[in-house]
Each structure stands twice: as structure tokens, then as C-alpha cells.
Structure 1
């Protein structure tokens, strides 16, 4: 009896081990020779890859005579990419992220010799998924848009409200943001439009791709509830829309897809060997055999059943239709050229800085020369055009941003050349009379007036504003002083330029950066002077002939300086 019991336990134990190892579908001889390959895949493609791995086990598909035991684990691509370092030892041999950008990031961290792309498993274009009611508003499917037009149309309509997964965590989100920037055009105007859209988008982002479709406010969604955090349009891959619609078949809540007419970037699912040098010959050959298996006709149909396109191939109408696409949307046209690594880095830097809350002290020249008429402005003065540009810039900041206002000339406040008109505070903070800091600041901008016969007390004002900004530094925000002047220093009783530069350098703390963004307005302003002053703080100096350009220059400066801080 003891012997029988031992045999029963041994068989039961062996069965448990076999189940745990996934070997029950192998024959006895196949199980003993199976080559195990650990594979990590993006969560969207992992179920399809697992289905192919299970087929390899059931059909006893071999590599060099040995069966393949491919173990598939789903992990977010951005988390896997972040795990790579020069000393990291991955616990997997093959990685299928959703986009090659993550492989590039891993190569930068771990060294290109240890991360090698051997092929691609699937494609899925990035498009804009829209709730049915919002799609009708935007003219789907007949109306087509560029990326920039889609972004602006969804950002401008509060009923649509654009959302996305965080571009820092989502290839789809970052690829779309890069395409929007490229579509918006080069130069300050294009950058301004893109950054303004990023500000709007930042209010409705999810942490990752897995949550973005849950944030879609469809017409009958019980979750909608009028929440401003839900979106009527979201950046999404075709495959994610396919999966979403499969779960809402028979309802009117399926997503509709807009494919940008200037081309959709692709999620390209690279099959990546991450530690080939440490693999045995059998493991390496089995990994490559599995890549071949993923590309055969049976596996291609498995991937298609999960909503994926074949790598680099044209697509039948059925798949985009199931994903929410419909003619004349250009779903079968050539995809967009993939953004370069630098373009993606620029887009990520812009996103990181633009959505980061800012703390700005705005200092505006109110000397008499600001009453000078601006040519071609319909008779408006420099001050009037400057105020209009500042109000446009203010509209691009969120309730979390902190902004204050000073003005200056000479002897505005007793012996002081400057006045603190509005203390720096959150734009969303309440103010007297049922207003907010934004309302108060808007009114103060609108009330700015040149001081008759007032001279330009530039140096004392700059030092006072910078000293105040550094002493009230807000951690976790982009801190800066924005100085606007249309002339050189005209206060004979002020400190010298050399003294100002020396004191600014003493106040500057690299661990608490507060760059000075100095803008020389008009042809009489001294560009060299503002550049020298700004440089002492790690900031930048600009000259604008037309005060209407102030808005774009401020945003351009914030992006440039913020990216420099981010990379530093």
C-alpha cells in the first residue's frame, strides 16, 4: 500500500509540474528535449503571440529537432524599456514591444550590441478614435483631416474633447504628437499651435494605452456623466479600436476612426533579441524559428483575428471596417514616414515641458516709448499690441500654472522703478469678487498703460524681479522671469550692466533654475543687452520687431529652456 501511495503521489506531482511548465501538450520524448524561450510582449499583441506559442506546443513544431516551449509574458513596453541599463540582465530572451522607439531607447541604455531587432511581427496604424456623436459633428467618414487639423478640431470643440495615453508611456500618443507637430509646420507659429494643443491634451491623459479606450465618452455611456476628464476623441491604434468594437458589437457605442490624410504612423511590433550573446545555440535558433512561425499564413490569420495588419502589407477593407474605419477615410493609403529619433525626442521634450506647470513672473516695460505706434497694426501702440499678445499667451496656460505681473518705467513706486501689480499665484486660485487669478491677471494685462515721460528703469527692475523669483522658487515647476522691454536702460541712478550681470550670476542656483526670458520689443530695443543679461541666469534673449510675436516667443523659450533642463 505504501508503494502504491508513493506511485500515485509521484504521478500526481509529475502532472502538476507538467501543467506548471506547460508541457502536457508535448509527447514524452518532445517534452524532454523542448527548448524553452522566455518572451515578453506588449499587452495588446501578447494574446496573439501566446496563441501561436500554444500552437507550437500542440503541433510539436520543432527547431533543429527539438520542440519549442515559448513562454509569453505581457508587459508594458515603456516599463520594459526603462528597465534596461548597462548592467541589467533581462529575465527574457525575446521582446516584442509595440514600437521600435522603445528598442532605440533600450539600445541607448544597454548598448546596441545587446539589443538586436530580427524582424517585425505586425503593424497597426495610429489614428483618432471618435465616439459616434462626436464623429458625426466632425463629418465622419466623408471629411478628412491632416493631423494638425484633427488636433485643432477636437481641441476647439468642448463637446468632442481630445484625449490620449500619456506620450511619455505610449508609443501611439508620442507618434501622434510628433505627427501633429510636423503637420502644424515649422517655426514659432507651428510650435505655438502644437504646444497649445499639448496643454489641452494634458488635461485628459491616461497613464497608458490600456486605459485610453475606457476614457472614451460614447453617446450612451453610463460613465460619461458630463465629466470634463472624459474624451469624445482619443489617439488610438487601429488594433485597439478593433478590440474595443468587438466588445461593443451590437451596440451604438462602437468607436469610429479618422485616418489622417497626411499619413498614419505605424506601431510596428519589432521582434527583438535582448541577450543573444548569453543564449545557447539551441535557444537562439528556437527564438528565430518562432519568428518564422509568427510570419506563416496560419499565424498571420491569428494576428488578423486580433486586429493586426501583416508587416508592411496592404489591408483588406474588413479589418478597418471592424475597427471603425469607413471609406473615404484613407485607411489603405501609404503610412506616414516614421518620425526620426530626434523628432520623437523633441516631441517628448515639448510634451514634458509644456504640460509641466509653470511659475512665471511677467515684467512689462511701461515707459513712454511703449506708446509708439506699431507700423501695419492699424494705429495701435506697442503697449496695445503687447497686451493683446500677452492675453493670447495667458489663454494657453492651465489652472495649475502660476503667473504674476509687474510693470516698470522710472520712479513708479516712490524711488522704485517697478510695481508689483499682481502677485504670482495659481491661475485657478479664487480672487476677490468671485473671480480667479486668471481673471485678475487678464484685467491687469488689459489695464497696462505707458507712463507719459517715463524712462526705462531696466537694470534695477530686472535685479528686483529676479531676486524675488529665486527667493520664491517652486519645486516641481518650470520657474522663469519673462521680461519685456522696448529700450535700453535709461535710469542714470541704477546699477551698471556689469554689476547687474554679476549679481544675477550670484543669485543663480543650478539646482533651482530660474532662467530669465528677456524679449527686446521693437527696433530701438537693445538685443545685445537683453541677451547678455539673460545669459547670466541661464536664460535666453530675443528681439521681436512686431509685438504680436511675443506670445509665440514666450512659448518657444519655455520649450527650449525646459528641454535643456530636462536633458541636463
Structure 2
């Protein structure tokens, strides 16, 4: 049975497979912010300290609200008052940390946890059970705010879609990659592709994947393992995944890139992005648009509209979890802080960020910003049983859109520089090996090396080491280990040639991407025209080949790599701190 938007609801626990895979991977690149409530000297009677850990998307506001709460010195039952400190941690990383006594975070152990979704409380429950310890999160928890999952489209495209009446997940995201917008009478809009977070890394990405399966079986609850084995269900999900432009570890990055393209007057190859509703509001308000320090927010030229599939959607419920580590006085403080957060003035602060309130109600301003919801309100899916989620994630790895990936590896002499007791090249090779292990066996992968002119490198300062073809991880890894490092960095000519190589071998059924790994900037005088390179790799929405860059070490010119990536609608990853190289590779591979 589907839950309505008028009452609290509960998410069921995750599976052991998610515990072993999703949490570990998500923990590899977590955003950590230690933000203490700076209230000056607390009153002498405020002897209770409450540590709160929040998911990152709402942490900045919670820091401000904690400061407001602490400064008010609200009296607690039994006397005294509390000072609240807030730190921030990715929800998946926090679940993992709570299951291992909070080791390795560098943050104060919390007595209250505020993840993005109760999905994570169920996951922590599983982790605790697997470790043979008493579950820390056995209960249902109240929400402080809510945000449904939506399909966000540029307004002109959303208007055309809505003219058809209520449409489902398959109607919206399963538009034929070949016919695309032609079936809606807009052939000039070309192919239909959309952006989606990788479900192994993102709450919204996982929720979108589960929603797709529910739409395939035309139910809002009780998904079974036999449903997943149904060939018709497999075909439905595969048809939707085939239209992904590329995956992401964070929808905010997709939106920032979209805003930059919009304000520059360009076009994106994505017709939609699946994400939380509050991000649509922030985008439309210009909060995700590029701007100089001190400058006002610039609203996009074309706003996004939240489209709600007819079968229903998921709600991300932002639960308030009091952990067993809280003593009696801290529990009293937590209850009072919850009352404070769900009171009118604080709820208004959340709604200004685009959240629905703790009772699922959307403000008029939110609906004006993102678009009206269906008559009768939203319908929410109930989550599947844990073992079904396990099977779903295992199956997704075979159903997701496959990739054509050409890796261009910098073998210039500067890669011999020391990083601790190893060279840059050794560090890069090790990280590349870990990243390659995360690719799908059905991907097609090639390897080039590049430095500067050499008789052995023809027709230019780059050389094909492994031809683009069926993924052979051992062969690629072995070839990387045998590469010789010397010469300069012929960055521009290599990126141009690699991009053209993939354009000529473009496969509309795959994500087509060039991956550039470099520790420097262009040192090749024969090709030193950045403007021409940016024009050459500019995104063609009909044949999108995207460039992804990883900048090694501090000698890398990350700004230029970022320009190259953005010109093609790709992304640059900053690994100029050697400690972030593994993290950058995980993020990179998660795009495919």
C-alpha cells in the first residue's frame, strides 16, 4: 500500500550487501565539516552539551539554528539548559562510522544523528546486527523536514510533457534514445537523456532506482525477488538506464554545471535530472549558479520544473535520531531541540531552502518555484524488503548504461617527482588500478600514454597502448606498470586527438568519455591554443563525447582542466592533494 503525504512513514532496513558495498564506497569520498555552534561563553546553568551530526545538505542551516538554540538557553525539564554543537558527515559515512564506534571521523561522537533518509537508519540497524551488537536505530523516527524525489526538467520541456497528462517513470525517462523528443512533436530537441546519481553512492540515486523497479511492476509496495527476475521488468529498467547521459556522485554538481551552461547561453545534452525537490528550488533561486564573492545570486534563464511520475515517488524524510549514547540529560536536551526545530520559525528557515515541513506540507513559495503537485497530493512508495534491495543493486550493475572509455595517461618526466616514498606515477598507477576494478566487465576501455614528441609516438606525442575494445583489466594494468616516464606534457593535442578518436567511434548505446590523468599543464609549443581546444571538444548534443580530468599533484593547472571538462559537459576532479587520488578515481568511475 502506498503511503500518502499526510503522515509519518517508515523506511525498512537495507541489506547486508548494501552494508558491505554501498557504505564502504560512499565512505571513500565523504564531505566532512566540523562546525561548532559559536555562542560565546554559555550560561553557567547550561551544563548539558549535545553533539549533533547532520547530513551535509542541511548542515549549514543547522549550525545557525543550533547557535540560535544555544543562545536562547531554553530551560530543560528538571532545570538547566543545553548547548548544541553540530558537525556534518555524509549519511552513508556516518552510518558506517556509527557501526564502528565512530572511529576515523575526527568528529565528536554524536548523541543525535540527522541523516538524509531513514534508509540509513535501517542500514545502520543491519550493520549492528551483523556485528552482533544491540541495534542503535531500532525504531521509527520523527522527521524534521521532508523532500520528495522528482524528475526536474527545463520549463519548456516540462510544459510539453505535462500537456500529455499524467505520465509514469517509463514514459518520462524511457523516451526512446533514437526517437527522443520526436515522439513529443519536438524533433529539433534531439535525443532524450537524463542525469542520475549512482545508486551505490547517493540516497537519491538509490531511491530513483527503486522507483524505477516499482514503476516496472506497476505497484507502490511489496516488490519481490521474483519481480526482479521477470524479463519484462529487466527490459523496462534497462530501457530507462539506456537514456542516462552520465552518472554522478552528487546531483548538486550536475546542477552547478547546468546553471553555468544556462547563464552562458549554451545547451546541455540532458533533458532531465532525477533529484530531491529542494535542489530544484535552490537552482531556480540562483543559489547553485556561479557568482563572484559578494555578488547576488543569479537566477537561471530557464528554470527547472519538478515533474511527478503518476505511479508515485520516494520521500527523503530527514529523521531525528536520538542514539543510545545519549544520557538522560542529553535525551531531555534532544527532545527539546527537536521541539525547537519543528517549531514555526525554524521550519520557515527550512522551507526557505526548499524543504517541505516536518508534516510533509509544501509552502506556496516552494510550489511557485518548482511547479504544482498532482491533484490530491503526492503518493509515496514503500521500500522493498532488505534482500530485495540487495538483489536490486547486484542486478543494477549489469543493467546500468555501459561505457566507451578512452584513458589518456600522462607519462611526462614530472611524473617521476616524489610523493612520500613513491613517485607521482606510481601513486597514479595504483589509484588507476583501484578505479579500473570498479568498471563494468561489459564496458569498452582503451589506454593511451602521452608526453612529448618521440620517434616511437606517431602520429603525435601520444601512443595507443591498448586499443579501445572489450575491457581487459589485467592487460591495461600490466601496460600501465610497464610505461616509461620522460619528456614534457602535450596536453592539448592529446585531448583533442582522444576526443576525435571517440567521436569517430561514437556508440549511441553507451556513455562515451575521455579520461585524462595528468600532473601538469600543457608544455607542447606545437599546440598551445586553449581556445581552439575548447571549441574542438565542445559538446555536440547529438554525439556527446565528454572529457573527464583528474589533476594530480599541485603542479597541475586545475583551472584549465576544469575548463576543458566543462566545455564537453564532463567534469574535472581535484586530486592535487595526493591523499585524495583514490577518492577522485572512485568519483570518476562512478560517472560511468
TM-score in terms of structure 2 length = 0.52
Partner of 1:326: 372
Partner of 2:581: none
Q: Does residue 400 of the first structure (1) align with residue 400 of the second (2)?
A: no
Structure-to-structure mapping, 1:333-348, within 5 angstroms = 333-348=378-393
Partner of 1:49: 62
Q: How far is 1:425 from its partner?
A: 3.8
Q: Find 1:29's aligned residue among 44, 54, 72.
A: 44
Q: How far is 1:349 from its partner?
A: 2.2
SS in structure 2 of the partner of residue 66 of structure 1: coil
Q: Does residue 234 of the first structure (1) align with residue 273 of the second (2)?
A: yes
Q: How far is 1:281 from its partner?
A: 1.9
**Contact 2:262–2:300 under 8 Å retained in 1:** no
Partner of 2:237: 194
Q: How far is 1:191 from its partner?
A: 1.1
Q: Find 1:163's aligned residue among 159, 170, 195.
A: 195
Q: How far is 1:21 from its partner?
A: 6.5
Q: How far is 1:97 from its partner?
A: 0.9
SS in structure 1 of the partner of residue 380 of structure 2: coil
Structure-to-structure mapping, 1:147-226, within 5 angstroms = 147-153=169-175, 157=180, 159-185=191-217, 186=227, 187-201=230-244, 203-216=245-258, 220-222=262-264
TM-score in terms of structure 1 length = 0.54
Q: Does residue 143 of the first structure (1) align with residue 165 of the second (2)?
A: yes
User: Which piece of structure 1 moves more, 303-312 or 151-160?
Assistant: 151-160
Paired with 1:208 and 1:219, the residues of 2 have a C-alpha distance of: 18
Q: How far is 1:269 from its partner?
A: 0.7
**Contact 2:125–2:137 under 8 Å retained in 1:** yes
Partner of 2:72: 59
Between the two proteins, the alignment pairs up a number of residues equal to 351
**Contact 1:144–1:258 under 8 Å retained in 2:** no
Hey, which of these two has a bigger chunk of helix by percent?
1
- Indicate the structure (1 or 2) with the bigger Cα radius of gyration: 1
Q: Find 2:283's aligned residue among 235, 244, 252.
A: 244
**Contact 1:39–1:71 under 8 Å retained in 2:** yes
Unaligned runs of 5+ in 1: 1-18, 360-395, 403-422, 440-568
**Contact 1:320–1:331 under 8 Å retained in 2:** no
SS in structure 2 of the partner of residue 190 of structure 1: helix
Q: How far is 1:42 from its partner?
A: 1.4
Paired with 2:68 and 2:193, the residues of 1 have a C-alpha distance of: 43
**Contact 1:167–1:177 under 8 Å retained in 2:** yes
Distance change >3 Å, CA 339–CA 213, structure 1 → 2: farther
Paired with 2:81 and 2:69, the residues of 1 have a C-alpha distance of: 8
Distance change >3 Å, CA 243–CA 168, structure 1 → 2: same
Structure-to-structure mapping, 1:408-557, within 5 angstroms = 425-426=469-470
Distance change >3 Å, CA 219–CA 294, structure 1 → 2: same
Q: How far is 1:153 from its partner?
A: 2.4
Q: How far is 1:129 from its partner?
A: 0.9
Distance change >3 Å, CA 343–CA 51, structure 1 → 2: farther
Q: Find 1:109's aligned residue among 117, 120, 127.
A: 127
Unaligned runs of 5+ in 2: 1-34, 181-189, 218-226, 288-297, 405-439, 447-466, 473-497, 509-592
Render the CA deviation track for 1:509-533: whole Å, top value 9, x for unaligned.
xxxxxxxxxxxxxxxxxxxxxxxxx
Partner of 1:284: 331
CA RMSD across the alignment: 3.9
